[in-house]
Structure 1
Amino acid sequence: MLHVTYATAPAPGGVNEDYVIAGPAWVAVLDGATAPRGVDSGCGHGVPWLVRTLARSLVEPMEAGDPLPEALSRAIAATMDAHGGACDLGNPHAPSSTVAIVRQAGEHLDYLVLCDSPIGVLHTNGMLTVVDDDRTARLPGGRPYPLDLVASLRNRRGGFWVAGTDPGAAFEALTGSVPVAGLRAVGMFTDGVTRLIEWYGRSWQELMTAAAAHGPAHLLAEVREAESAHGTPGHGKPHDDATAVWISIVPAGDGRRGA
């Protein structure tokens, strides 16, 4: 059984383009990508609509037990249909989203990570496994990336993959399965939280330990404190939407309520 807690907050002064959705045995985290200011996305709906629609479109295939890539592919296709033909889905700057999913299926926990919303899997023996789709960090030339370069490599071989206007992107996600019996907890994070690692010197072990001890909201407070104290690299936004999910693996018969 999964016991789920989470915290999410927009960048100060902004609208939250992260999204969390959960069923009895699964959780998904999404982080929408906004086109740079002044760039036409070809879509009149906007990123918050995209992440909400994509998240809700996951429910049916997830509850049906579809394998995770198939479930995400169906959700992307349904979201494309929901645009209603009024948007230019061929625009390389069309709204898109990262996706991270975990789902308990019998004695195993399946996971999927597409783009930069990683998960940490904490085992009962103390080992930590990080599933991090870091392809956005390995584009040619190094950061800051030119806008045209990013557009040309989105959902392309040799570039990176994201959920938006290509159902096939779901099959490029990082996926796997681990026995539930050997698990203690799973952490799911958008990159507004993992900047604690990438920019501010925390380790994955420290991030997971803090989440276990103090809860997801503590990580969000740490992020805002670090941003205020140290600023951000030249290629980074001063603030970002931030979401942290903590999933405790509750043994059968423990008596705690799952989410």
Structure 2
Amino acid sequence: MHLEIATEPARQDRPNEDFVAASPSAVVLLDGAGTPPGSDCGCSHGVAWFVTRLGVNLLAGVTNQPDRALTDCLADAITTTAALHAECDLTHPGTPSATVIAVRLTDQDLEYLVLADSTLIVEHADPATGPVAITDDREALVGAALRGSMDAVPTGTVEHGDALRRYVEAMRAHRNQPDGFWVAAADPTAAHAALTGTVPRAEVTGFTMVSDGASRLVDRFHLADWPEVLKLIHDQGPAALIRAVRTAELADADGKRWPRGKAHDDTAVATVTL
């Protein structure tokens, strides 16, 4: 397994809330959900603290318990991480949360778990199959009905900041609800709402994980498709995708062409060749 990782915070003066870690048999990528200024989350530690501990606990479980289902490994990691900050208000609707991708390699299979809006792209040995992108779009579907007022004003303005806070608070009512969307926060039952699957290892040549800050080039900016992104990564490395995203963001700093909650987002890319 050959692994390359690139990650970059949205701003150099704020911690990176994306997280990537790997062992010889597993890779995990998490994207933390931050709290906009003016909103409380009930936790004194912060999103980056939460994401790091959840990611480390998840990687340990996936690696050390090869026969345990990925959903159970994630549920265990959520429970263990919650116990590390039990003094915080973990029932708060804004308690730190994260999207999760986990991949485990066995001698026979590639096992995967995808929870929320990061994307896993699996590359198949058969060229006719092409790359298959797996993402959990339930959050985007819920958000589409709530983000109109935020998208209507320029990014970076006071009005946009107020609209972003209202949007985030409105989304909380749908978080980890049967008719809403699911993320890894303090409730381990969310793990069992993840998308999961198994692909025979002999049919796979590699896979790539991207947080939603990096997938913007495809799913929000529509400047490339996944085969083009994979070619960019294979030719120039995963940092090249982040550079392409930043170039597009800087060309539309006020969000008029591509309305979005943040002008820039944390980015993480992990690519594996088998």
The TM-score normalised by the length of structure 2 is 0.87
> Do the aligned residues in 1 keep the contact of 2:42 with 2:88 (CA within 8 Å)?
yes
Q: Which structure features the higher share of helix residues?
A: 2
Using the alignment, how far apart are the partners of 1:95 and 1:214 within structure 2? 34
Instruction: Give the aligned partner of residue 6 of structure 2.
Output: 7
Deviation at 1:142, TM superposition (A): 4.5
> Do the aligned residues in 1 keep the contact of 2:28 with 2:59 (CA within 8 Å)?
no
> 1:20 is matched by which residue type in structure 2?
V
What CA RMSD, in Å, does the superposition of the two structures yield over aligned residues?
A: 1.4
Instruction: Give the aligned partner of residue 115 of structure 2.
Output: 114
> 2:172 is matched by which residue type in structure 1?
A
Instruction: Give the aligned partner of residue 194 of structure 1.
Output: 215
Equivalent residue for 2:78, pick from 76, 79, 89? 76
> 1:44 is matched by which residue type in structure 2?
S
Instruction: Give the aligned partner of residue 88 of structure 2.
Output: 87
Using the alignment, how far apart are the partners of 1:192 and 1:207 within structure 2? 14
The 3-state SS of whatever aligns with 2:246 is: helix
Instruction: Give the aligned partner of residue 52 of structure 2.
Output: 52
The 3-state SS of whatever aligns with 2:41 is: coil
The 3-state SS of whatever aligns with 1:188 is: strand
Using the alignment, how far apart are the partners of 2:271 and 2:49 within structure 1? 25
- The equivalences for 1:195-210 within 5 A come to 195-201=216-222, 202-210=224-232
Instruction: Give the aligned partner of residue 230 of structure 1.
Output: 252
Using the alignment, how far apart are the partners of 2:125 and 2:233 within structure 1? 16
Instruction: Give the aligned partner of residue 160 of structure 1.
Output: 181
Deviation at 1:124, TM superposition (A): 1.2
> 1:167 is matched by which residue type in structure 2?
P
Deviation at 1:28, TM superposition (A): 0.0
Equivalent residue for 1:138, pick from 135, 138, 141? 141
Cα deviation, 1:21-45, whole Å, max 9, x if unaligned, reads 1111100000100112111100001
Using the alignment, how far apart are the partners of 1:218 and 1:148 within structure 2? 34
> 2:267 is matched by which residue type in structure 1?
A
Using the alignment, how far apart are the partners of 1:209 and 1:156 within structure 2? 38
Deviation at 1:58, TM superposition (A): 1.5
> 2:225 is matched by which residue type in structure 1?
S
Instruction: Give the aligned partner of residue 273 of structure 2.
Output: 248
> Do the aligned residues in 1 keep the contact of 2:26 with 2:59 (CA within 8 Å)?
no
Using the alignment, how far apart are the partners of 1:213 and 1:181 within structure 2? 24
> 1:120 is matched by which residue type in structure 2?
I
> 1:226 is matched by which residue type in structure 2?
A
Using the alignment, how far apart are the partners of 1:87 and 1:203 within structure 2? 42
Using the alignment, how far apart are the partners of 1:185 and 1:239 within structure 2? 28
**Structure 2 unmatched ranges of 5 or more:** 149-165
Using the alignment, how far apart are the partners of 1:184 and 1:148 within structure 2? 41
The 3-state SS of whatever aligns with 1:37 is: coil
The 3-state SS of whatever aligns with 2:170 is: helix
> Do the aligned residues in 1 keep the contact of 2:102 with 2:112 (CA within 8 Å)?
yes
Instruction: Give the aligned partner of residue 238 of structure 2.
Output: 216
Using the alignment, how far apart are the partners of 1:200 and 1:60 within structure 2? 35
**Structure 1 unmatched ranges of 5 or more:** 250-259
> 2:170 is matched by which residue type in structure 1?
L
Using the alignment, how far apart are the partners of 2:245 and 2:168 within structure 1? 26
> 1:72 is matched by which residue type in structure 2?
L
Q: 4+ runs of 1 displaced by more than 2 Å?
A: 142-149, 230-236
- The equivalences for 1:92-107 within 5 A come to 92-107=93-108
The 3-state SS of whatever aligns with 2:3 is: strand
The TM-score normalised by the length of structure 1 is 0.91
Instruction: Give the aligned partner of residue 255 of structure 1.
Output: none
